[in-house]
Structure 1
C-alpha cells in the first residue's frame, strides 16, 4: 500500500473535485475529468515527439512496448476503456502518468503512437496494484488492454526494472501532476511542490465477464 492510500481521510480540495478524484463511493455515470486531461496531455506529447523525430529524421528505438503500427483505438478511447473495465480509482491515472514520466526519463524512450498504449495499460495496472485496496490480476488487465497475459507479464517486469521499482509517489508529486494536468502542460517536466490531495477509493465492482476483448497490434 502506497503513501497515497494512507491519506484516505485527508481532504477534498477544489482541485480534486475538479479532476473527479474524490471518493465517489460508487460508479459515477460520467467519467472523471482527469481522463480527458490525461489523454490530451499524452496526445500532445506524442504529436510533439513524432513531429520532432520527423523533422530531425531521428529513428525511434524499438522496445517491447512498441507495436508494428498504431492501434485504431485512440488514446482517449483507450483510457476510457481502461477506466470502465478496470474499476481502479481515478487517482491511478495520475500516478500512472508519474510512472510513465519516470520511465521516459530513465530510458530516453519518447512517447509515440506505437508505444503509448502499452505504456498506459502497464502503468495503470502497476499503479492500481500499488495504491488501491482491490485490483484485478494481470490476465484481466491483459483482456482490458488487448494484449496476451504473457505479454502483459513481460511488459510489467520491463516497466518495473526500468523504474528501478521506484513506485512510491509523494503527496507533493501527486499534487504537482494534478496541477500540470489541469493546465495541460506537456512540454515542461513537473516540479515537486506541496499541495493537498484527495484520498484513494476502493474498487467499485468485481465482474470480469463484462470485458470484451480487443487486441492492439504487435
Structure 2
C-alpha cells in the first residue's frame, strides 16, 4: 500500500507493506531525504509511531494515510532491562516517566500498573516528571521490576469510547465500568446497550490493540482515558 509523508516543506508517497517495521520506513525516508532515522519522529493523529513496532500494530493506518514527519536532535537510545532480557527504547529527555512506561507497554505488553522503573537504583515514581529530571541520558539503563498483583480490589473507571468517523459519525460515548472487566465484556456491553450497532470491533488504548480476554486493569486503563473503536477483528497470533 502507499502512505503519504508530510513535512513542513514537501509531501511525498512511499510504498510500504503492513508488516513493515516503523524503523524500516524511517530508513526509506533517510534514503530519500538524507534525514538520519534516529532524528525522525513519525506521527499520525498526534500518535507517535514507535520503532519497535510494525505498521500492522497501527490498524488506523491504511492505504493513503497521511503521516507527519518532524525532526529532532534530542532523540536518544536507552536500555530497558528486565529480569531476563534487555531491549533498546528510543526516547527524548523531555519524555515523562509515564510516556516511557507507555512505550514499554506498547512494545512488550507489560501491564503498566505493575511496572516499577528504576534508574541508578532509585525508583522513578512520579509519572509526570521528565527523564531529564531523573538524570536519564543516552546510553542510560532503566530497570523494570514487576510488582505483585495481590488481591487488587476492583474499582470503577470512567472512560470515553470514541468511534471512528465512519462509525456513528465519530461519536464520543462516556462509559463507567469496573477495571476488572475484560475487553470482550466491555465490547459486548456496548452492543447490548445499543451504544454500538451489532458488529465486530477492535478496541485501541494508547495506540495498542486491546486483547479481548484481558482486563482493563491489565491494559492500564484509568479514569479519563479514551478507548478507540473501529470495525473489524484481529486474528493475528500474539495480539
Larger-gyration structure (1/2): 2
Question: Fold match, TM over 0.5?
Answer: no
Q: RCO (CA 8 Å, sep 6+): is it higher in 1 or 2? A: 1
Larger strand proportion of the pair: 2
Larger helix proportion of the pair: 1
TM-score, length-scaled by structure 1: 0.23
TM-score, length-scaled by structure 2: 0.22
